[in-house]
């Protein structure tokens, strides 16, 4: 069984550092502020956004939650984003995804001022990241780098294989690892002989969004496996496929009727040298990095 990379304690460490920075900025009369926009009533989004706002309060950041109704139009959303762009007390703007299908999400994400784009979703930030310029990087891949570095896992010269090519995780993860001098490969649904490629990885990043997709024979013994997936499973047969004989999981599943599994089959962690569990691995880093990005945006916007 590989060593567990404890994302929760790394996230706590980062949040402590962010709180220290917030204190130092307060001495200069600066209080970083985050605006979180939550449209409609998506239950999972509500939980995430509340957690982001709560963490701001814990670390001393200002935050404001905006909750327009599901029926809001693209034009109304655009006006809202434009107003937030102009506000001096707001350093970070976060549009919680998914937005309702009838609004133009791309147009709105592109309307967020790149200086306030703490999710790192704006093409200007993607471009800056690729060009190796100071950029606000997406929180989840930035968190992956923090886990690796703070766990003492070498990156330079290592072969990193990323499964999944999303704009939010796969592509930025590749850029960040490249800047750390890894040799990177991005795999996707059209990759031939995927298992042969993933078995080459010293660092394997799973960001596909499919429960238990990475199986033991896809992992090189001793590799570091980073599981970015968060998949809720409710089906008993699927549960058995991943967690048969796991008494603790059985208890949650029986109680709640569901449990969370990552993109990596639990049996594949046994082959790994080190791995991030789900839950408790990459997940906790996402909010910590959002806080870190918001403080960074506050400093950068003031030329500090
Ligand atoms: N929805 C799911 N994850 C995220 C995230 O990291 N940022 C935003 N804005 N929306 C999300």
DSSP states of 56-104: HHHHT-EEEEE---TT--HHHHHHHHHHHHH-TT--EEEEPSSPPTTS-
Strand 159-163 and strand 92-95: the pairing is unpaired
Residue 1 pLDDT: 86
Cα distances (Å, whole numbers) of residue 243 to 5, 198, 240, 251: 20, 23, 5, 11
- Specify whether 119 is catalytic: yes
Helix, coil or strand: residue 53: helix
267 CB-near residues (< 8 Å, 6+ apart): 215, 216
17 CB-near residues (< 8 Å, 6+ apart): 292
Cβ–Cβ < 8 Å for 263, 231: yes
Distance 286 CA to ligand 1 centre (A): 9
Angle (nearest 5°) at CA 46 between 58 and 78: 100
Tell whether omega for the bond before 292 is within 30 degrees of 0, i.e. cis: no
User: Tens digit of pLDDT for each residue in 127-153?
Assistant: 999 999 999 999 999 999 999 999 999
Helix, coil or strand: residue 129: helix
The catalytic position among 15, 91, 96, 171 is 96
Write the residue with the smallest CA distance to atom 11 of ligand 1: 97
Helix, coil or strand: residue 210: coil
Distance 267 CA to ligand 1 centre (A): 28
Could you tell me the domains of the chain?
29-115 (3.40.50.10860), 139-285 (3.40.50.720)
Atom of ligand 1 nearest to the CA of 140: 6
Helix, coil or strand: residue 204: strand
First to last CA, the chain: 45
Distance 205 CA to ligand 1 centre (A): 19
| Mutation test residue for ligand 1: of 39, 40, 48, the one with most atoms within 8 Å of CB | 48
The catalytic position among 52, 116, 171, 220 is 52
260 CB-near residues (< 8 Å, 6+ apart): 230, 231, 232, 233, 278, 279
Q: How many residues does the chain have?
A: 304
Q: CA-to-CA distance for 164 and 202, rounded, in angstroms?
A: 17
Residues of the chain short of pLDDT 70, as ranges, are none
Asked whether the CA dihedral 144, 54, 41, 105 is positive or negative, the reply is: negative
Q: CA-to-CA distance for 37 and 24, rounded, in angstroms?
A: 27
- Specify whether 96 is catalytic: yes
Residues with C-beta less than 6 Å from any ligand 1 atom: 94-97, 119, 139, 286
How many helices (DSSP H) and strands (DSSP E) are in the chain?
12, 11
Angle (nearest 5°) at CA 144 between 138 and 150: 125
Q: CA-to-CA distance for 270 and 296, rounded, in angstroms?
A: 38
Cβ–Cβ < 8 Å for 18, 296: no
User: Tens digit of pLDDT for each residue in 60-93?
Assistant: 999 999 999 999 999 999 999 999 999 999 999 9
Residue 225 pLDDT: 98
Q: CA-to-CA distance for 93 and 79, rounded, in angstroms?
A: 14
Distance 225 CA to ligand 1 centre (A): 23
- Specify whether 202 is catalytic: no
């Amino acid at each position: 069984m590989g060593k567990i990379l404890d994302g929760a304690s790394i996230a706590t460490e980062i949040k402590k550092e962010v709180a220290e920075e917030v204190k130092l900025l307060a001495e200069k009369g600066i209080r970083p502020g985050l605006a979180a926009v939550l449209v409609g009533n998506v239950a999972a989004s509500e939980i995430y956004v509340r957690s982001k706002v709560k963490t701001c309060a814990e670390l001393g950041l200002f935050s404001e939650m905006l909750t327009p109704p599901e029926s809001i139009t693209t034009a109304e959303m655009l006006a809202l984003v434009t107003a937030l762009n102009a506000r001096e007390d707001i350093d970070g703007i976060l549009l919680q995804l998914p937005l309702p299908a009838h609004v133009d999400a791309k147009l709105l994400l592109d309307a967020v001022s790149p200086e306030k784009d703490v999710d790192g979703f704006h093409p200007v930030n993607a471009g800056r990241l690729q060009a190796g310029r100071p950029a606000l990087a997406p929180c989840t891949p930035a968190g992956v780098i923090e886990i690796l570095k703070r766990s003492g896992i070498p990156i330079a010269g290592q072969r990193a294989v990323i499964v999944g090519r999303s704009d939010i995780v796969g592509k930025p993860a590749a850029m960040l690892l490249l800047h750390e001098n890894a040799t990177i490969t991005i795999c996707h649904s059209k990759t031939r002989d995927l298992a042969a490629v993933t078995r080459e990885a010293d660092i394997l990043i799973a960001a596909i969004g499919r429960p238990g997709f990475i199986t033991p024979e896809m992992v090189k013994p001793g590799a570091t496996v980073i599981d970015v997936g968060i998949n809720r499973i409710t089906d008993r047969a699927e549960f058995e496929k991943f967690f048969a004989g796991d008494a603790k999981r059985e208890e949650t599943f029986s109680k709640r009727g569901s449990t969370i599994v990552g993109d990596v089959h639990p049996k594949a962690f046994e082959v790994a040298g080190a791995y991030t569990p789900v839950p408790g691995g990459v997940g906790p880093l996402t909010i910590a990095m959002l806080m870190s990005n918001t403080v960074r945006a506050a400093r950068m916007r003031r030329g500090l």
